[in-house]
Amino acid sequence: MADLAIHTEQLTKMYGKRRGLAGLDLSVDTGEVYGFLGPNGAGKTTTIRILLDLIRPTSGRVELLGGDPRRDGVALRRRIGYLPGDFIVDGKQTVTELLTYLGNLRGGIPRERVTTLAGRLDLDLSAKIRSLSKGNRQKVGVVQAFMHQPELLILDEPTSGLDPLLQQTFLDMVREARTAGQTVFMSSHVMSEVQQTADRVGIVREGVLVAVERVEDLRERGVRRVEIHFEDPVTVEEFAGLPGVSDVTLTADVLRCRLDGRADPLVKAAAKHTVIGLLSEEPDLEELFVTYYRGAPDDAA
C-alpha cells in the first residue's frame, strides 16, 4: 500500500452517542490532489483530526504515509503540513515569531522560504497576529502548512476567508505542490473550491463516503449552458431531440440550451451550419454534488 498516502477502512468515530464517522473507507493516492467534500457535520474534520492523531477512532483502520497515526505520530507529522479549519493561535505574538516557532518544531525552515510564501500571499510578517483580519490569519495558516514542503498536505477548508484573488494564488500553490510530487488532501463544502485543482473528489455524507469521482468524469457529466451563434437561421427541431440537450431556445440566429454529458451530438448537429461563435460554460458540478448531499441516487448521473 506504499502508493496510498491515506488509507482508511471502516473508520468509525462516536462522540458519546453522537455519530462522527460511520465506517469511512478512504483511499488517497500518493501525488494526487483529493477533494474531500461534504456538508457541515458530515465528518470531514473528524476524519482529518484522526489522521493527525488529535482524536482516536472508535474502530477501524487508518494508514497514513505507510504508518499508523497513533504509533508513528511524531515521525508522520514531520512529513505532513496541516491547515486546521479554525486556525487559532495566541494573538500576542508576531507572524514571524509564530512561524519561527512552528518551523523550529519541524527542525527549522529556511527563511527565504517563509518570506517568499508571505510575499506571494501579501502577508505582513511583522504584524501581531491579534491585529490581523480573518483572511490574513488564514494566510498565516496557509504559510505554516506549506513552508516545509511536506509530502502530504492536509487542508481543512483552506480557502475560507481568502478573497478571490488569493484563492487563485492558493490554488496555484496547490497545483505547484502536485507538480512537486506532494499529495494534497483538502476538505470543502463547496465543489467550486476543489473542482479547479482536484484530481478526484470523495463525497462524505453522514459519516460515510458515498461517492468517489474523477473530476474529469464529473465534468463530462456535468450540466453546462451552451450558446451557439450561427450565420444563417436554424430550427429548434434540429437540436431539441439530441441526447443530453434540453431547454432549447432560439432567438434569431442564436441557440441556447443546456447540455448534460458529452458535447459530441450537439457539436455534430451544429456543424451542419456555419458556426460564428460557440460559448460553453464551465459545467456546474455543484448541482451533481448537491444530489449526493441529499442522499445519493445510485448512478443517476
Partner 1 sequence: MMLRNPFTKALWDARRAILGWGMGIGYVAVMYTAFYPSISKPAFASALQNYPEGLKKAFNIQDMTSPAGYLGSYVFGLLVPVLLAVFMIIFGSRAIAGDEEAGTLDLVLAHPVSRPRLLLSRLAGLATAVLFACAVVYLLLLAIAGPTKTSAVGAGHLAAMTVQLALFGMLFGALTLGVGAATGRRSAAVGAGVVVVVFGYFGNNLAPQVHGLGWVQRLSPFYWYLAGKPLVNGLDLAGCAVLLAVAVVLAAAGLVRFRRRDLAV
Interface residues with partner 1 (CB under 8 A)? 45, 49, 52-56, 73-75, 77-78, 80, 82, 84, 86-90, 92-93, 97, 100-102, 104-106, 144
Nearer to partner 1, 186 or 201 (CB): 186
Say which residue the cell 485543482 belongs to.
197
Nearer to partner 1, 41 or 244 (CB): 41
Nearer to partner 1, 14 or 210 (CB): 14
What's the CA angle centered on 220, arms 215 and 226, to 5 degrees? 125
Q: Could you tell me if 59 and 49 are in contact, meaning their C-beta atoms sit under 8 angstroms apart? A: no
22 strand-pairing partners: 12
Count the Cβ atoms, other than its own, within 10 Å of residue 295: 9
Nearest distance from C-beta of residue 73 to partner 1, angstroms: 7
Nearer to partner 1, 102 or 257 (CB): 102
Nearest distance from C-beta of residue 70 to partner 1, angstroms: 10
Nearest distance from C-beta of residue 45 to partner 1, angstroms: 8
Nearer to partner 1, 53 or 193 (CB): 53
Nearest distance from C-beta of residue 110 to partner 1, angstroms: 16
Nearest distance from C-beta of residue 117 to partner 1, angstroms: 17
Nearer to partner 1, 177 or 191 (CB): 177
Nearest distance from C-beta of residue 95 to partner 1, angstroms: 12
Nearer to partner 1, 55 or 127 (CB): 55
Strand order in the sheet with 223-230: 245-251, 254-260, 223-230, 275-280
Nearer to partner 1, 128 or 175 (CB): 128
Cα–Cα distances in Å, from 266 out to 110, 215, 238, 240?
54, 22, 10, 10
Nearest distance from C-beta of residue 103 to partner 1, angstroms: 9
Q: Tell me the one-letter amino acid at 261.
A: G
Nearest distance from C-beta of residue 280 to partner 1, angstroms: 42
